[in-house]
Amino acid sequence: MITRSGVQYAESMEMLQHLVYHSTPQVPQDSMRAEQFRHHMKVFPQGQFVAVDQATNEVIGLTVSMRLDFDPEHPFIEPWHVTISDGWLMRHKPKGEWMYGVESCVHPAYRSMGVGGKLMEARFEIARRQNLRGMVAGSALVSYYRYSERLSPEDYVRGVVAGKYFDTNLSKQIAKGFRPLMTIPNYVTDVEACGWGVVIVWDNPAYDPLQKPRRIFARPYVYYPHARQPEPEQGQAA
């Protein structure tokens, strides 16, 4: 089940991050903490989702998002922790025309089961309902270490787009409809990515430039893939 993140899940979300990133509460590294997840739910509740195993009520996946202003012609090139204010989303703009994908992870035992894709579709659905221009994110080049001695990051990305190389992260994002724009040095501390990331963008095909992005007020929400979704509330235009 994919549902909006709730405060009852915050501790489990932190534990999932430690499991995925091999961190601990004492040495969190880049993992987010429960209090940060609770803060995300306050600043942009519509953009936060978890995947829950209904048999065990265990959080097996999560996403974190915020809204901001973005110019695809002049993307911001900076480390991930700077963009997300070290996990506190201080750059979130309620009237921002783009959704920014802050974080997404899936429990190792539930990978290759479509969980990540369902979480992404829930994000896309919110972008459509709020009439956002699209979604932007940074994709760490997690398989680049295999080619770093003979390829520049730009050549590697071009090869991934052409299908010549498979990147465990970027290739999956391209399959979901994202397109890479520009590489980002020192994006992450991940040694497998050699620190590199790339700006990726998904353009909302339902975006109506004649309508302002909507500001939808929170309500209990569960996303079931392929099911007809409720009509958005008549919220305040942003």
Q: Break the chain into its structural domains and give their ranges.
A: 2-213
What is the per-residue pLDDT across 101-158, written as a single tens digit (0 to 9) for each?
999 999 999 999 999 999 999 999 999 999 999 999 999 999 999 999 999 999 999 9
pLDDT tens digits for range 153-211: 999 999 999 999 999 999 999 999 999 999 999 999 999 999 999 999 999 999 999 99
Three-class DSSP category at 199: strand
| Encoded tokens for 108 | 């190792």
Residue 232's nearest CA partner among 46, 3, 6 is 46
* pLDDT for the residue numbered 216: 53
Q: What is the pLDDT of residue 215?
A: 65
Report which residue type is found at 166: F
Count of beta carbons in the 10 Å neighbourhood of residue 229: 13
pLDDT at 213: 81
CATH homologous superfamily of domain 2-213?
A: Gcn5-related N-acetyltransferase (GNAT) (3.40.630.30)
Tokens describing residue 111: 């990978």
Measured from the Cβ of residue 231, the count of other Cβ atoms closer than 10 Å reads 7
Q: Return the beta strands (E) in the chain as ranges.
A: 2-4, 49-53, 58-68, 98-106, 134-140, 179-184, 197-203, 214-215, 222-223, 236-237
State the Cα–Cα distance between residues 62 and 106, nearest whole angstrom.
7
Residues 6 or more apart in contact with residue 9 via CB below 8 angstroms: 37, 50, 52, 59
> What global pTM score does this model have?
0.88
* 26-55: average pLDDT: 95
